[in-house]
Amino acid sequence: TNKKNKHGISFYSKEQDIYHEGRLTLMSNLRQDLADDRLELFYQPKLASTTGRVVGMEALIRWNHQQLGFIPPDEFILLAEETGVISQLTRWVINRALSDFVQFRAEGYEGDISINISARNLSESDLPGYLTSKLSEYQIPANKVILELTETAVMEDPESGIVALNALTDTGINLSIDDFGAGYSSLSYLKRLPATEIKLDRSLITDILSSESDRVIVQTSIDMAHNLGYDLVAEGVETQEVLDLLTSMKCDKIQGYHLSRPLDREAMSAWLEEALN
Ligand code: C2E
Ligand code: CA
Ligand code: CA
Ligand code: CA
């Protein structure tokens, strides 16, 4: 709680100081661990619903803190965004994902790779240049790379967001709108984004078997996406029943625990070897 001194000026209570310092310490640990390459990427496959073939994979960051143990990304990504560490983090993720991607391709994988970025990254004018240089360093065709960004991230500042997204897609990479349907979705605005793919939020998929309204929203989203020329991906698919239903609803791609949990690089290689044969 805020306390006021005799001049009426608020100052932080001790608890808040500790919390504040805890956040700063955590972020300086994150910076250091990124610099020391102590984080990991896991990969989760994405299948085409009609053929059942693997067509993509999403890179998901994992941080095993030396003292605190595993910290879920939802708990440190927001902090990284607020403190600016996300700039270093996103570059680390791009570099690691692309270097692992080279190995997956050497093992016969022909699909694409999806990388999550944050709204904060859109204000970095050198990000397109960083991507281009990494693509050429690893000799990866740009159209094999998808950047995932939440729609709310762009909605914060649509005009400059669209300019930044155009600069990114000018490199040849593709854009996916993540967590679609989780917040306020503006269709007229959506079609101004240079995206090729829309990912329906897991919250719309979870109860799809029992909730008729969720089914209606999902079907409407699929039809709308197709009419606007986007591929539609459903995430959070946990059962064969949901997979079958989404396939019958003409959902293009499927991701979720039913196919595979996110796997570390070696486990992903083993999974691919099975899936490709
Ligand atoms: P997201 O991008 O929406 O990622 C999907 C999340 O759902 C992942 O959680 C994934 O492990 C989980 N998931 C996948 N399939 C299923 C399923 O069938 N059921 C359930 N219950 N969950 C499933 P994760 O890895 O903990 O990541 C959470 C969020 O953290 C991500 O949400 C993304 O917003 C963020 N994040 C993760 N990695 C990165 C990264 O490298 N960069 C940035 N900027 N954000 C990241
Ligand atoms: Ca994502
Ligand atoms: Ca998502
Ligand atoms: Ca999310």
ipTM confidence: 0.98
Q: Are 115 and 93 in contact (CB under 8 A)?
A: yes
pLDDT score at 53: 96
pLDDT score at 99: 98
pLDDT score at 32: 97
pLDDT score at 190: 81
pLDDT score at 124: 95
Residue carrying structure tokens 């595993």: 70
pLDDT score at 18: 46
The ligand minimizing its distance to the Cα of 233 is 3
pLDDT score at 19: 52
The ligand minimizing its distance to the Cα of 147 is 2
Ligand 1 proximal residues by C-beta, below 6 Å: 44, 59-61, 72-74, 77, 93, 116-118, 178-179, 202, 235-238, 256-257, 262
- Cα distance between residue 272 and residue 277, in whole Å: 8
Render the burial of 222-256: b for 16+ CB within 10 Å, e for the rest: bebbeeeebbbbbbbbeeeebbebbbebebbbbbb
Output DSSP code: residue 212: H
Q: Are 273 and 107 in contact (CB under 8 A)?
A: yes
Burial of 218 (0-12, 13-18, 19+ CB in 10 A): buried
pLDDT score at 12: 47
Residue whose CB lies within 8 A of the most ligand 1 atoms, among 60, 96, 205, for a mutation test: 60
- What residues in the chain have per-residue pLDDT under 70? 1-21, 184-187
